[in-house]
């Protein structure tokens, strides 16, 4: 068997490393702008994640997002922290999901939110005060839920 010299061994290890990195890149967590459509405008990002078969709210939306559409997915809950870095958001659509539970504090950082769509979900109960921090909210749509 032929002996590998040090420089050939280093070159071979680099090649193996690059192959592993490029292969594993397909399994890396995708950012919201890789999963969805992100369009930059003068006002900020418009993010559309409609019809993406999402079961959870993706993390890492651009902080400059002012419109976020998450309709027609398979979301079952909204958790505190799902929108933590989106204080510039003015429009949020969560329509036509399977949302049953909205955790207290889920919207607390959305102080600029003006429009919130939660229609066509499976919400039966909302914590008292869940919308208290939404001081700029003008439109709230909860139609076609099971709130009693």
Q: From first to last of its 148 residues, what are the pLDDT tens digits of the chain?
A: 556 576 665 555 555 554 444 443 444 567 899 999 999 999 999 999 999 999 999 999 999 999 999 999 999 999 999 999 999 999 999 999 999 999 999 999 999 999 999 999 999 999 999 999 999 999 999 999 999 8
**Does 12 reside within a domain?**
no
Q: Which domain holds residue 119?
A: 41-141
Report pTM.
0.80
The pLDDT of residue 99: 98
Domain count, the chain: 1
Q: What is the pLDDT of residue 28?
A: 55
Domain-embedded: residue 110: yes
C-beta of residue 47 within 8 angstroms of C-beta of residue 67: yes
Query: Would you say residue 11 lies in a domain?
Result: no
CATH assignment of the domain containing 97: 3.80.10.10
Where are the extended beta strands (E) located within 30-123?
37-41, 44-48, 65-69, 77-78, 91-93, 101-102, 115-117
**Is 7 part of a structural domain of the chain?**
no
Burial profile 17-30: b = 16 or more Cβ within 10 angstroms, e = fewer: eeeeeeeeeeeeee
**Cβ pair 67, 88 in contact under 8 A:** no
Residue 24 belongs to some domain of the structure: no
Residue 3 domain flag: no
Residue 30's pLDDT is what? 79
């Amino acid at each position: 068997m032929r002996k590998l010299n040090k420089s050939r061994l280093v070159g071979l290890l680099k090649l193996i490393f690059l192959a592993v990195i490029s292969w594993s890149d397909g399994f890396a967590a995708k950012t919201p702008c890789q999963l969805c459509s992100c369009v930059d405008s003068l006002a900020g990002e418009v993010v559309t994640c409609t019809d993406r078969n999402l079961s959870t709210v993706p993390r890492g939306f651009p902080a400059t997002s002012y419109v976020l559409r998450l309709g027609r997915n398979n979301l079952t809950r909204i958790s505190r922290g799902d929108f933590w870095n989106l204080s510039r958001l003015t429009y949020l659509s969560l329509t036509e999901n399977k949302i049953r539970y909205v955790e207290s504090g889920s919207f607390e950082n959305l102080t600029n939110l003006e429009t919130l769509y939660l229609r066509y979900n499976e919400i039966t109960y909302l914590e008292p005060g869940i919308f208290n921090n939404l001081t700029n909210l003008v439109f709230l749509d909860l139609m076609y839920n099971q709130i009693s």
